Structure 1
Amino acid sequence: MSDILLKPGAVPLADWRAIYQGAAPSLDPASAPVIAASAAAVERIIAQHKPVYGLNTGFGKLASVKIGDEDLATLQRNIVLSHAAGTGAPSPTPVVRLMMALKLASLAQGASGVRPETVEMLEAMLLAGLTPVVPSQGSVGASGDLAPLAHMAAAMIGVGQIEVAGQVLSAEGALARAGLAPLTLGPKEGLALLNGTQFSTANALAGLFETETIFRSALVTGALATEAAKGSDTPFDPRIHALRRQPGQIETADALRRLMTGSAIRASHLVDDARVQDPYCLRCQPQVMGAVLDLLRQAATTLEIEANGVSDNPLIFPDTDEALSGGNFHAEPVAFAADMIALAICEIGSITERRIAMLVDPALSGLPAFLTPQPGLNSGFMIPQVTAAALVSENKQRATPASVDSLPTSANQEDHVSMAAHGARRLLDMAANANAIVGIELLAAAQGCDFHAPLRSSGPLEAARALLRAQVPMLDHDRHFHPDMEAANALVRSGALVTAAAIALPGLA
């Protein structure tokens, strides 16, 4: 059964997110005529016996080699097998399925010259839960994500491996179990399947979706940390942000203000607090997190456009029976978007770690040292802050832009490449690091608020704290810390923390 109906060229970001989260996509039947027209155009072009790149010639530097009609099927099979040269750990199943859906929507726009049965095969594999095993390394982001997509195409012709319900089978065996026969590729089809930016785009979208959840959770934990430090909500006054005019900043300040509204902790120090200004990690949350939000939205716009585009080569135009060679496979837009997301992830973790460091320092927070009732006998949150610092440093190193690099390939025919694939692939690991940092802040901020009892925070923040406390009690004495961190990480990763706060928080939409 299909959960998402793909309308090629017009798929909203929310549908791509749903597919990443497990929804099954199927193709809008209205795309059938344009698919058939494109395949018919390829047949007519082949019949002209003129050299056309990828249809009856070699590939890359071998484009000048003419291939006879009797070898056209072998040509397409050979390109798949020779290009399935990836290495490294298998890509996550949700990412591969998203990549397959992106390729499906691209092929269905009638510019790739593939036959209806080829599109139907890809759709059938998605609906049957057949996920090719795709090594995660080997693409430079032009001429398309050749190696990863070749592993996908190889599975379609019965070569390689396919994962089904957590079990890895031979591709041929998995297809047979699902009642599918390996595909025999027609002219242009191997090239159409493995040329394009779908691997890079899928990884970038996955990173974007995970980061949106972390961003929202960090607003909750940031507000809770402000409460734990008895910080001021004055920096969130809308008049301040209206003068700056940055939209993300305005929305973020509004969210933080609403998260803290009604707090008895805040009310308790409105009159007698001698501090004039809070540290930047509290006071500048709207400016930093607002800039993060704007950056994520810019990346989302680029990726939504890319997801709905056609990025293989050459492109088929049935109205004139032309196959035009260009460079839509160059993933520079995706590389830039991935670099922006990496910067955003890095900054979420960076400012979050500074709040954790502030909370464990009694000179800054006014709380017991390392947030433990008996410092000295107990180390409390000493080492979780060190862990957060380690993760921040790791993300800083990974945030170095990938898009500024290029290394010529294919005997200098492909002399400028985007490096989008690994620029996007790093994002899930970076997001996992940021998720853990925000989870540590959740623990530390809740612990800090515990010291203010019987005063309570706002309704939304107390609901978030109660969610944590249902799984993790206050740290009164040192105990095995790792399980507490894992529980907090899960609340951040799942979005449960945001749900518990029950306040609409800004995001991509």
Structure 2
Amino acid sequence: MIRVDGRTLRCADVVTAAATEGPLAIDVSIAAMRAAEHAWKLADELSTRREVYGRTTGVGANKDDLITGGESREHGLRLLRSHAGGSGDPMSPDQVRGMMLIRLNQLVAGRAGISPELISALAGAVRGGALPLVHRLGAIGTGDLAPLAELALALTGERPWLEGGVPPVSVRAGDALAFMSSNAATLAEATLAAMRLDTLTRASHAVGALTYIALDGNPEAYATPVHEARPHAGQVACAAELRRLLGMHHTPKPGRRIQDPFGLRAFPQVQGPALDAIHYLRDVLAIEINASTENPMISTVHQDAYHHAHFHTAYVSTALDQARATIHQVAELSVARLGDLLEPEFTGLRPFLASGPVGSSGVMILEYVAHDALTELRQAALPATLGTAVVSRGIEDHASFSTQAARAATAASYAYQQVLACELVAAVRALRLRRAELVDIPARDAYDLASAALDESMDDRPLTEDVHRAVGVLDELARI
């Protein structure tokens, strides 16, 4: 049961909603619905005695065009129809479901001034698993106007549902802009990508631990005194996790080398920033999915409307840019460790972990696959925040591009999991070839799990299925 009260929605709830095909168990706070109704009544009353953007005026560069009371409802419908101009491919079902839950949660925070009927219709759609047709293109990080307009028109019966549906509701005066004043679609994709990256970074500890064992790594790089000397939170956490996975409860034996390659030796220093960046990104998203972003904001406490710029999502875009940049560095280390696993000087095994006749290629192709994926990740890691846009006749003269940053985060998570899978396939093969008997440590559980999923054959053969299976076990490795 997901609690929807405008205050306590979690990123994990968004992931659950996105993955749920069909009805979703939600508990919409009755008190929150009452607060939303009070804000709706106040917004109507305020519109009779002062200018309220989007209710008594046009929007964007039309902000000075006054709308009379009798035209308000038709004005709202025109706003939705004109803004429902999304294009490109349909938005993915999981993102649409996440968007709908986030928007519902924001609306029941009680500062939008939206009619209770429209909120209830959205709640019914979320609860029933209804899926509207929403297009992917139409936002630049200053409000997901096109996707949310398409959703609103589906609730009114003017646009199609791909799955399910709800009885059509009327748009009341002031509903249109208030419904669109959110970045819920962007936040949905950002949240799904952030949670995926969080899972992959946790899985990478287990993958890195298996590579460490296969390469007879030097434990001094993870020693507690080392990381107490420069105690960045993520770095300290990474080193501690490697010590746990490798059973380093006491001073361990020295490794084969006085100093390992950077892929092993600098793992905490490179992984640490990624852990910190993802932690910060999740904190930002936890605020955003429970935030009241409607412009204007209707305050029942102060009995007034406030015009503002909460639609601007610089926090989200910059946090996403930072997360992708740090993930790229972590992925570079994974590819470096993969190269070490194919080098006899580090493993004592044949080149490319081959086991067949002379000239066998073993897992040579994994380097090519990993570097291909890493190149895609590098492109996805480029900052989305270095450009801007001037729209609506110059009135809106800056954009965060958080929407594009979120899309890039989705691409980065896909590429990163391919990189990790390549390293995992090679690490398991190296341990098999060494006939390593792992002692009773958490890393052995990781090995048993991955080994059970991967083909035991050492012959030269296509490794496509091995990489696919390795991707499939990363979620479980993250929980070890």
Band of TM-score, shorter chain:
over 0.9
Work out the number of aligned pairs and report it: 476
| 1:303 CA drift (Å) | 1.4
Percent of paired sites with the same residue: 27
Name the residue aligned to 2:478: 498
Name the residue aligned to 1:7: 5
Name the residue aligned to 1:37: 38
Question: Comparing 230-239 with 254-263, which one deviates more in the overlay?
Answer: 254-263
Matches within 5 A, 1:81-230: 81-142=81-142, 144-164=143-163, 174-175=164-165, 180-230=166-216
| 1:107 CA drift (Å) | 1.1
Question: Comparing 104-113 with 22-31, which one deviates more in the overlay?
Answer: 22-31
TM-score by length of 1: 0.89
2:401 to 419, 425, 440: 419
Indicate if the aligned counterparts of 2:204 and 2:478 stay in contact, CA closer than 8 A: no
1:313 match: secondary structure: coil
Indicate if the aligned counterparts of 1:204 and 1:337 stay in contact, CA closer than 8 A: no
Indicate if the aligned counterparts of 2:218 and 2:256 stay in contact, CA closer than 8 A: no
| 1:290 CA drift (Å) | 1.6
Cα distance in structure 2, aligned partners of 1:103 and 1:4: 14
Deviations 1:47-87 (A, max 9, x none): 33x43210022111111112222221111111111111222
1:422 match: secondary structure: helix
Name the residue aligned to 1:245: 231
Cα distance in structure 2, aligned partners of 1:202 and 1:186: 26
2:466 match: secondary structure: helix
The residue identity in structure 1 corresponding to 2:230 is: R
Indicate if the aligned counterparts of 1:260 and 1:457 stay in contact, CA closer than 8 A: no
| 1:319 CA drift (Å) | 4.5
Cα distance in structure 2, aligned partners of 1:68 and 1:487: 62
Matches within 5 A, 1:300-319: 300-319=282-301
Name the residue aligned to 1:169: none
Cα distance in structure 2, aligned partners of 1:157 and 1:348: 47
| 1:486 CA drift (Å) | 0.8
2:443 to 452, 461, 485: 461
2:242 to 256, 266, 282: 256
Cα distance in structure 2, aligned partners of 1:483 and 1:288: 30
Q: Which runs of 4+ in 1 moved over 6 A?
A: none
Which 5+ residue runs of structure 2 have no aligned equivalent? none
| 1:440 CA drift (Å) | 1.2
User: Measured at CA, do residues 74 and 382 of structure 1 come closer, stay the same or move farther in structure 2, by a change above 3 Å?
Assistant: same
Name the residue aligned to 2:47: 46
Name the residue aligned to 2:57: 57
Indicate if the aligned counterparts of 2:14 and 2:188 stay in contact, CA closer than 8 A: no
User: Measured at CA, do residues 313 and 376 of structure 1 come closer, stay the same or move farther in structure 2, by a change above 3 Å?
Assistant: farther
Deviations 1:288-316 (A, max 9, x none): 11221111111111111111111121111
User: Measured at CA, do residues 106 and 399 of structure 1 come closer, stay the same or move farther in structure 2, by a change above 3 Å?
Assistant: same
Cα distance in structure 2, aligned partners of 1:365 and 1:375: 19
Name the residue aligned to 1:394: 376
TM-score by length of 2: 0.94
Indicate if the aligned counterparts of 2:96 and 2:185 stay in contact, CA closer than 8 A: yes
Indicate if the aligned counterparts of 1:380 and 1:475 stay in contact, CA closer than 8 A: no
Deviations 1:29-62 (A, max 9, x none): 11122111111112212333x4321002211111
Indicate if the aligned counterparts of 1:249 and 1:291 stay in contact, CA closer than 8 A: yes
The residue identity in structure 2 corresponding to 1:148 is: P
Cα distance in structure 2, aligned partners of 1:393 and 1:496: 26
Name the residue aligned to 1:473: 455
Cα distance in structure 1, aligned partners of 2:367 and 2:229: 35
2:89 match: secondary structure: strand
Indicate if the aligned counterparts of 1:38 and 1:113 stay in contact, CA closer than 8 A: yes
Indicate if the aligned counterparts of 1:7 and 1:28 stay in contact, CA closer than 8 A: yes
1:433 to 412, 415, 419: 415
Cα distance in structure 1, aligned partners of 2:91 and 2:154: 14
| 1:419 CA drift (Å) | 0.8
| 1:333 CA drift (Å) | 1.1
The residue identity in structure 2 corresponding to 1:181 is: P
* Aligned-residue RMSD, C-alpha: 2.1
Matches within 5 A, 1:330-479: 330-374=312-356, 376-456=358-438, 458-479=440-461
The residue identity in structure 2 corresponding to 1:220 is: A
Cα distance in structure 1, aligned partners of 2:203 and 2:462: 24
Indicate if the aligned counterparts of 1:303 and 1:337 stay in contact, CA closer than 8 A: no
Indicate if the aligned counterparts of 1:158 and 1:182 stay in contact, CA closer than 8 A: yes
Deviations 1:339-384 (A, max 9, x none): 1221233223221111111111223443221111137542221111
Name the residue aligned to 1:504: none
Cα distance in structure 2, aligned partners of 1:95 and 1:485: 26
Cα distance in structure 1, aligned partners of 2:357 and 2:423: 19
| 1:21 CA drift (Å) | 4.0
